[in-house]
Structure 1
């Protein structure tokens, strides 16, 4: 197998303008050449993939890879499925899906939580606030796969219930929906939790300090919002295992350092073979020795 070919990463973004952030990470991951395409859809991606497949022989296809990104995770997932259907026989390349940074962020958040819980999430009662968002869904999915019992919250409890059903079917783990629309609505779920993860939008406070600081079962909190006000009051963005009122805390920037390491490693991993599909689960495993 020849290894003298330059590495080529083809960035396929569902937004009109491909992400500069993702391009910079690709450069920092030492990709030789970066090709960037915007407005990628399940329909037009096939010709782009054929261009990647038919310009090099099968023995050299491990030196070409695809990155699927953009701000709309559901659109990016549809693009990934179209890419999968385009591959045949030995004509395939490795693909990383990390639209909106959701997979690498979720992986880093869960690994931080696992560390805070002493190295295992088996049997842990976890509550995910804003679980129906892109990052929240993946955090909840990964927590369940690692053995946690997960309460999934949303302002719309019907959406939370639908997500709980989907995750239960996908993982076989225990998921319970709850409303995080008000303090009273989410209190029962929080009282059971030894782990709370807040995955809400930028600048949205979901949990006041007066509510979480008195929770007797709570051991670890992870807040993924760095824009003031933080999602969990009393947690600082730079917290990385900090002691906050007897609870170990991670803030968005504390998680973000590991997220960046996972992102770079995932790109590098693409060029080890031509048959990898890296999603949230694969990102988590890649990050295990990086924290």
Structure 2
């Protein structure tokens, strides 16, 4: 029986990137839909769960993508509500590749730190990848500072993450010229997850953080988010700090993405969000 992946994208044009990765992961057929919303997804879900016998539902899966995280999360919730007991299929949510990228970044950090004992600063923390990192790290018990140039946006993301992880240790941080010193004070791990071409910290500023042990930059477009970290850096020592660059994180992200797609077809009850994707990323790192 063929493995069928139904791609549900909240954008008008379903992502070609996600289609290619699915094919490389061994999917036989991909059915792609754009402009999918909670209001029009029910019939698509019914088409997935009522066309095959219960024992064969593991060979159909759903993939939620799109550029807007909140829209994908609302779609994810509606799909879960539409399933009928055992009449369901596995599901993966990866808006703009943010969850797989976040899982890869955190997995790199976990090679060197006890995250439960770590003070973490996420730069660009209100963007898709930053938010995914915050969700994963919060469930792992880290003390997480979600940084943004807008304190209000940082506060909003912290509140949303706490909704799904009530015990999380999150705090918002305003990352401005005046607030840099407070934001970086005492941190062991920095993840730069901002937009392409945005520099957060200079090499001198990084070197001045005495407590910093690991720095990860997911941006490969010049200028990099953290000056001095080459995109190809892989556990590279930079003035006593272990560094990972965007290309190294990206390579692990791709392995994780393919592995997650393959995992969907091992049963019909997988639900892979940021935390579920991180859990399986350990098998490919």
| Fold similarity call, TM over 0.5 | yes
1:6-25 alignment, distance < 5 Å? 6-25=2-21
Query: How many Å separate the matches in 2 of 1:260 and 1:152?
Result: 25
1:60-139 alignment, distance < 5 Å? 60-117=56-113, 120-139=114-133
Query: How many Å separate the matches in 1 of 2:4 and 2:160?
Result: 36
In structure 2, the partner of 1:226 is: 220
Mapped pair 1:267 → 2:267: no
**Equivalent residues of 1:178, 1:186 under 8 A apart:** no
Deviates more, 1:259-268 or 1:186-195: 186-195
Query: How many Å separate the matches in 2 of 1:51 and 1:79?
Result: 16
Normalized against structure 2, the TM-score is what?
0.96
In structure 1, the partner of 2:168 is: 173
In structure 1, the partner of 2:207 is: 213
Mapped pair 1:253 → 2:247: yes
Aligned partner of 1:39 among 35, 42, 51: 35
Q: CA deviation at 1:197?
A: 0.7
Query: How many Å separate the matches in 2 of 1:161 and 1:70?
Result: 24
Mapped pair 1:241 → 2:241: no
* Runs (5+) with no aligned partner, structure 2: none
**Equivalent residues of 2:124, 2:130 under 8 A apart:** yes
What do residues 254-278 of structure 1 show as CA deviations (whole Å, max 9, x unaligned)? Answer: 1011111110111011111111110
Query: How many Å separate the matches in 1 of 2:118 and 2:196?
Result: 27
**Equivalent residues of 1:238, 1:253 under 8 A apart:** yes
Query: How well do the aligned residues superpose, as a CA RMSD in angstroms?
Result: 1.2
Query: How many Å separate the matches in 2 of 1:166 and 1:62?
Result: 31
**Equivalent residues of 2:175, 2:183 under 8 A apart:** no
Query: How many Å separate the matches in 2 of 1:173 and 1:216?
Result: 26
Query: How many Å separate the matches in 2 of 1:31 and 1:53?
Result: 18
Aligned partner of 2:196 among 190, 199, 202: 202
In structure 1, the partner of 2:50 is: 54
Query: How many Å separate the matches in 1 of 2:160 and 2:43?
Result: 32
Q: Look up the SS of the partner of 2:7 in the other structure.
A: strand
* Runs (5+) with no aligned partner, structure 1: none
Q: Look up the SS of the partner of 2:210 in the other structure.
A: coil
1:142-181 alignment, distance < 5 Å? 142-171=136-165, 172-181=167-176
Aligned pair in 2 of structure 1 residues 51, 165: CA closer, same or farther (>3 Å)? closer
**Equivalent residues of 2:9, 2:35 under 8 A apart:** yes
